[in-house]
Amino acid sequence: MIHSLVEVAYLAAIVLFILALYWMNDPKSARRSVSAGVAAMALAIAATWSRPEVVHHAWIIIALLGGVVVGVPLSRVALTAVPQRTALSHAFGGLAAGLVGTAKYYMWLGEDPSELTGFRMTAIVVETLLGFLTLTGSLMAAGKLHGVSWIPQRPVIYPMQNFSNLGLLLTALAIGIFLIVNPTGSVLAFPALIVLSLAFGVLLIIPIGGADMPTVISILNAYAGLSAVAMGFVLDSRLLVVAGALDGASGLILSIIMCRAMNRSFTNVLFGGFGQVQEVAAAGGEDRHYKEETIEGAAQTLEMARFVIIVPGYGMAVAHAQHRVSELYDQLTARGTTVKFVIHPVAGRMPGHMNVLLAEAEIPYDDIVEMDDMNPDMGQVDVALIIGANDVVNPAAKEKKGCPIYGMPIIEAHRAKTVFAIKRGKSTGFAGIENDLYFRDETFMLFGDAKDVVGELTKQLAVDAAA
Ligand code: NAP
């Protein structure tokens, strides 16, 4: 009876996991999606705990308390730190998979080596390899994104790098095959598999520069999911197989979408070989000058515009300017101006970063458009207002061969009739290169913190409307 109930609970959890992913497709149902995911996980834990063969309850309570102690502070990090937090979550997933694979191998080895069938050994090898490489790879990615001082932020490149990485991976695979064929053949084989997997995770990440890190994090998500699938086979848990497959597949799809968004080769990401960006073709700005505009002047231009696009970027998040931006949107639309928010897939510091902030500020979803849908109509835009965005509107991505973002699709704000760019000073964006857009004839800078400048603009529009 209890087993049937557990199976029904697992089925319900699987359905909830699938619904959670499906609802994540649309910002309107995203909150429901999170609730469904939490409910699915709670159901899965409760059902597993209630199985009669689970007798060591103290260990489960200790694990739950450990999860709470680590998880609650992690859930409170600033939105800008979510990418590294996500990478840490993948690291924990990888660690769990790697430890389960190791425990199961040594358990069966000690109790009855005949249990280490070819199928089980294949699952254990895949789980251990992917689990441990996800652990170190994710820790490196989190450290790079968080700016940990002893982890180099720039890509670390050395001769024959791809060749030696591939050699390491092939050695790990050869040891894995040896273990599958002959699980008891050598006491050194399994520890060697663990060490090589841990080393491969580090080597996979060090050649990758910051601008490519989002794609790497989503590929690590896929690796964590695949290791969970293997863990499901090892533990004979259909729920884990399905949940891991959903996780792995969604990570893989997100990686492909992001590779397209950044014009990166997916195969290179898979093998960690796409850090070989040319050195920055940044300079050339010494004799170039920014043109500045006053708040009054910018407000006047906005008042005359029929079609305005707003391009939010990382700076809007840093300034917590989304609510002020929403007030500006209200002012403009009240005048009959068409206003659209154009979102680049990698704007900010995590996929969907801008969408989350705009949803929080209650911007209508219908006025949020994607880069690919807007670019063809860019010539009709009267004003493009760039709020704390830099790399995602940098024409160098189209024009400067050899620069780190060359080939990345951009929001073509430079084709709008007038561009206003809000930023605090002359710093570069995440990729560390100067933005040609800021020096073009049609561009005027509004220097200052995004929250202050947008607030002043809104006030000026209100004053003008009242006059
Ligand atoms: P960005 O290139 O990082 O540029 C942000 C700009 O905002 C900077 O030029 C900065 O200039 C300005 N800024 C910072 N604080 C500000 C404030 N308080 N008020 C006004 N401006 C402020 O941002 P982006 O255009 O959104 O591009 C995202 C970049 O991050 C891409 O290179 C992407 O590959 C990378 N990335 C994305 C993800 C992801 O998943 N979305 C994850 C990791 C990395 P000042 O300092 O002069 O103000």
Listing DSSP states for 56-70 in one string gives -HHHHHHHHHHHHHH
404 pLDDT above the threshold of 80: no
Whether the CB-CB separation of 223 and 287 falls below 8 Å is answered with: no
Whether the CB-CB separation of 268 and 235 falls below 8 Å is answered with: no
CA of 447 to the centre of ligand 1 (A): 15
For 417-445, b where at least 16 C-beta lie within 10 A, e where not — what string?
ebbbbbbeeeeebbbbbbbbbbeeebbbb
Nearest-5° Cα angle at 124, 119 to 130: 125
Whether the CB-CB separation of 410 and 395 falls below 8 Å is answered with: yes
| CA–CA gap between residue 340 and residue 370 (Å, rounded) | 10
Q: How far is CA 198 from CA 25, 160, 169, 190, 275, in A?
A: 34, 20, 11, 13, 20
449 lines ligand 1 (CB under 6 A): yes
Whether the CB-CB separation of 36 and 19 falls below 8 Å is answered with: yes
| CA–CA gap between residue 453 and residue 328 (Å, rounded) | 11
Q: What is the pLDDT of residue 285?
A: 46
Q: What is the pLDDT of residue 277?
A: 43
pLDDT average, residue stretch 38-47: 96
Q: What is the pLDDT of residue 280?
A: 45
Among 25-39, 260-274, 360-374, the minimum mean pLDDT is found in 260-274
pLDDT average, residue stretch 429-455: 94
CB atoms within 10 A of CB 457: 25
| Residue 407 structure tokens | 């080939």
311 lines ligand 1 (CB under 6 A): no
CB atoms within 10 A of CB 7: 13
CA of 83 to the centre of ligand 1 (A): 14
Among 86-100, 146-160, 337-351, the minimum mean pLDDT is found in 146-160
| CA–CA gap between residue 4 and residue 26 (Å, rounded) | 35
pLDDT average, residue stretch 49-59: 92
pLDDT average, residue stretch 194-219: 85
CA of 224 to the centre of ligand 1 (A): 28
343 lines ligand 1 (CB under 6 A): no
Among 333-337, 404-408, 414-418, the minimum mean pLDDT is found in 404-408
Q: What is the pLDDT of residue 346?
A: 87
| CA–CA gap between residue 57 and residue 24 (Å, rounded) | 34
Name, in order, each residue with C-beta under 8 angstroms of 82's C-beta and a sequence gap of 6 or more: 349, 350, 353
Give residue-wise pLDDT tens across range 347-377. Answer: 987 778 899 899 889 999 999 999 999 999 9
278 pLDDT above the threshold of 80: no
Whether the CB-CB separation of 275 and 216 falls below 8 Å is answered with: no
287 pLDDT above the threshold of 80: no
Q: Is 55 helix (H, G, I), strand (E, B) or coil?
A: coil
318 lines ligand 1 (CB under 6 A): yes
pLDDT average, residue stretch 415-441: 93
Pocket test for ligand 1, best of 423, 446, 451 (most atoms within 8 A of CB): 423
pLDDT average, residue stretch 76-89: 86
Give residue-wise pLDDT tens across range 89-148. Answer: 999 999 999 999 999 999 999 999 999 999 999 999 999 999 999 999 999 999 988 888
Ligand 1 atom closest to Cα of 145?
43
279 pLDDT above the threshold of 80: no
- In single-letter form, the type of residue at position 289 comes to H
C-alpha Rg value of the chain to the nearest Å: 25
CA of 410 to the centre of ligand 1 (A): 14
393 pLDDT above the threshold of 70: yes
Ligand 1 atom closest to Cα of 351?
40
CB atoms within 10 A of CB 289: 8
Q: Is 33 helix (H, G, I), strand (E, B) or coil?
A: helix
Instruction: Assess whether 236 carries a catalytic annotation.
Output: no
275 pLDDT above the threshold of 60: no
211 lines ligand 1 (CB under 6 A): yes
| Residue 252 structure tokens | 């893989």
Q: Which residue has the higher pLDDT, 431 or 429?
A: 429
Nearest CA to ligand 1 atom 38: 349
Whether the CB-CB separation of 155 and 207 falls below 8 Å is answered with: yes
392 lines ligand 1 (CB under 6 A): yes
Among 167-171, 216-220, 331-335, the minimum mean pLDDT is found in 216-220
210 pLDDT above the threshold of 70: no
Half-sphere exposure of 130 (CA within 13 A, CB side): 25
- Per-chain mean pLDDT for the chain: 90
Q: What is the pLDDT of residue 269?
A: 67
Whether the CB-CB separation of 394 and 405 falls below 8 Å is answered with: yes
Q: What is the pLDDT of residue 271?
A: 61
| Residue 427 structure tokens | 């710093």
pLDDT average, residue stretch 147-152: 82
Residue 157 parent element (H or E): none
Pocket test for ligand 1, best of 424, 436, 438 (most atoms within 8 A of CB): 424
Ligand 1 atom closest to Cα of 258?
40
pLDDT average, residue stretch 224-242: 93
CA of 402 to the centre of ligand 1 (A): 21
435 pLDDT above the threshold of 70: yes
90 lines ligand 1 (CB under 6 A): no
| CA–CA gap between residue 212 and residue 169 (Å, rounded) | 22
Nearest-5° Cα angle at 348, 291 to 24: 140
Options 382, 391, 452, 464, the catalytic residue: 391
334 pLDDT above the threshold of 60: yes
CA of 349 to the centre of ligand 1 (A): 8
